[in-house]
């Protein structure tokens, strides 16, 4: 049985609000889908891996901090960076 790692308690007073380009504060969660070759997975078919991200619903741009580092360069035209 795996133990779940404890996250430190975060006081929300010590956090900072993120804003959309239009000044709004609401974002949506979506998924980037990545295809993985059957030769890598060792399965009979290619597989799809969902990667959860948050994005601005108006511009459809991804919040850079929610994107894995390995994809930031590839998707640089699709992100909002601070």
Domain regions of the chain by residue span: 32-82
Does the pLDDT at position 72 exceed 60?
yes
pTM of the model: 0.77
In this prediction, residue 27 has a pLDDT band, given cuts at 50, 70 and 90, of very high
Q: How many CB atoms lie within 10 A of CB 68?
A: 11
d(CA 10, CA 33): 30
Six token digits for residue 45: 């078919």
Does the pLDDT at position 17 exceed 70?
yes
Strands across the sheet containing 79-80: 28-36, 47-55, 62-63, 79-80
């Amino acid at each position: 049985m795996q133990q779940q790692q404890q996250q430190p308690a975060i006081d929300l007073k010590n956090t900072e609000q993120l804003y959309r380009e239009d000044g709004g504060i609401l974002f949506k969660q979506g998924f980037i889908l990545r295809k993985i070759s059957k030769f890598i997975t060792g399965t009979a078919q290619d597989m799809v891996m969902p990667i959860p991200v948050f994005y601005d619903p108006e511009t459809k741009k991804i919040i850079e901090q929610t994107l894995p580092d390995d994809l930031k360069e590839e998707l640089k035209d699709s992100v909002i960076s601070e």
